[in-house]
Amino acid sequence: MSNNQMYLRHSADSDFVCENEYFSEFDEAPDEKIWVTISSKKNIELVQKEFNKCIDTLVKDQYLDRVVEKYSTIEDAKSVPITISDQGITSDSDSDSDSNRFVVTHDEKINRTKEHIIVLRGKGEEKLKHILISFCYDYDSITRIIIHCNKTASSYINTWVTDFKTEIITNPRFDYKSDKDITQPRMSIMASGQGGLHKLEFDLVNFNDGIKTMIDTHYNDGFKNFSDDLIHKLSTTDKGIVFLYGDPGTGKTNYIRYLAHKIHHKDMIYIPPDLTSLLTGPDFIEFVLNNPNSIFVVEDAENAIESRSNLRSSAVTNLLNLSDGIIGEAARSQFICTLNCNISQIDDALKRPGRLLGEYEFTKLSLPKTNALLKTLFDKTAKSKKALSLAEIYAFRDTNYDKPIQKKVRKPIGLG
């Protein structure tokens, strides 16, 4: 096997490919396998640079040789092995047939690559260290890192993996820096079917420029401070619960959409009201553990987590376990519960310091803010004599008009 080469991977099973590569190089099966999954919403370019930097540090600190470095692609059936050089990437094929040769520039390499495999062997007294690291990704989103190693290298590799994961997951410099970095905000929804609980991704309607002023125009004074603090906590921590409560139509769901626009490095998974009963089962714990580093949004959660005398529901028990403690360490996930009741009706255990990231009561807009938003949405003559909720403002019909006033902007979805 020649160093630094590109090859066509015929198998889609990355673990199988890695094990074969490891056995081919070291003539033994690996003693340990480690999988690291990285959020697809991380900035791939920055993560790639950090990965390469960490590999260089590992090689230097542990006296390792890069025995083999390979890249694979499965997108072109006519592809043949090619060699990477400073001048670019050229075909290794002995055939002169144009159909069996392709040339790829260095800049195109990453766009075509599905997998980057690095085989490392210890030098001198460290020669018994055997390591294979596979960096797998799919175009613009990283999926996983797979590591195979023997017992001699195990402790070093586990430390390296921990350091790399900590840096990537917790350091905000690897997150998308602004709204323009993600052109289409996305969320997932928890669904239940024959295969159990799973998630389905969907696109959100983009707020576009409206996101810059939404907090100031759609919520009362003081809310911006709460929102900025909450976004910071959700972005930099990996456990805890948030309670957003208030009457229907006061902007709780609309704010969830806002958070999805602002927090890009975590998957936000929506749990609809008709599925909150599933919070009580063991399948829900498994679902959360299978989706680490996520934010779970439980809408209209009061039926599942309201305090009932001395009885504690299974849903509350699951949330307590998942938001803190040993299971919480494994889940590394946060929960946002929207409620149409007062926070006083919620089990006190969920509100204990250290577990509670924040709580906020959504109310009708003040009268000045109500009229300011009416004038923005409709025209300067639109006016209310009383404070209104967001839902009431968007459904507003001035008594001076026989027909609904034509809005200047598109009506957003979800103002609960």
pLDDT, one tens digit per residue, over 154-213 is 988 988 888 887 777 666 666 654 444 445 677 889 998 877 888 888 877 776 657 778
Q: Which of 179, 141, 130 is nearest to 42 (CA)?
A: 141
Lowest model confidence (mean pLDDT) among 23-32, 38-47, 238-247: 38-47
52 or 129: whose pLDDT is higher? Answer: 129
Scanning 8-91, the segments in alpha helix (DSSP H) are 14-26, 44-61
What tens digit of pLDDT does each residue of 315-332 get?
Answer: 888 888 888 777 887 788
Collapsed DSSP state (helix, strand, coil) of residue 78: coil
30 or 237: whose pLDDT is higher? Answer: 30
What tens digit of pLDDT does each residue of 252-303 get?
Answer: 999 999 998 888 778 899 998 888 888 888 888 889 888 888 899 999 888 7
Where does the pLDDT of residue 404 fall: very low under 50, low under 70, confident under 90, or very high at 90 and above? very low
Mean pLDDT of the 330-354 span: 85
Q: What is the structure's pLDDT at 36?
A: 78
Identify the top-confidence range among 33-47, 62-76, 304-318, 326-340. 326-340
The domain locations on the chain are: 5-174, 186-362
Return the structure tokens found at 168.
């990537």
Q: What is the structure's pLDDT at 245?
A: 94
Mean pLDDT of the 51-65 span: 86
Q: What is the structure's pLDDT at 363?
A: 94
pLDDT at 146 over 60: yes
Side-chain half-sphere exposure of 243, counting CA atoms within 13 A: 24
Domain 186-362 of CATH type 3.40.50.720: no
Which residues lie below 8 Å from residue 302, measured CB to CB, with a gap of 6+? 339, 340, 341, 345, 346
**Within its chain, how far is the Cα of 268 from the centroid?**
7
Spatial separation of the C-alpha atoms in residues 201 and 290, rounded to whole Å: 15
**What CATH number belongs to 5-174?**
3.30.530
Classify the phi-psi angles of 213: left when phi > 0, otherwise alpha if psi is within -120 to 50, otherwise beta. Answer: alpha
Spatial separation of the C-alpha atoms in residues 168 and 211, rounded to whole Å: 27
Between β-strands 241-246 and 267-271, what pairing exists: parallel, antiparallel or unpaired? Answer: unpaired
Where does the pLDDT of residue 100 fall: very low under 50, low under 70, confident under 90, or very high at 90 and above? very low
Between β-strands 130-138 and 141-149, what pairing exists: parallel, antiparallel or unpaired? Answer: antiparallel
Spatial separation of the C-alpha atoms in residues 281 and 286, rounded to whole Å: 9
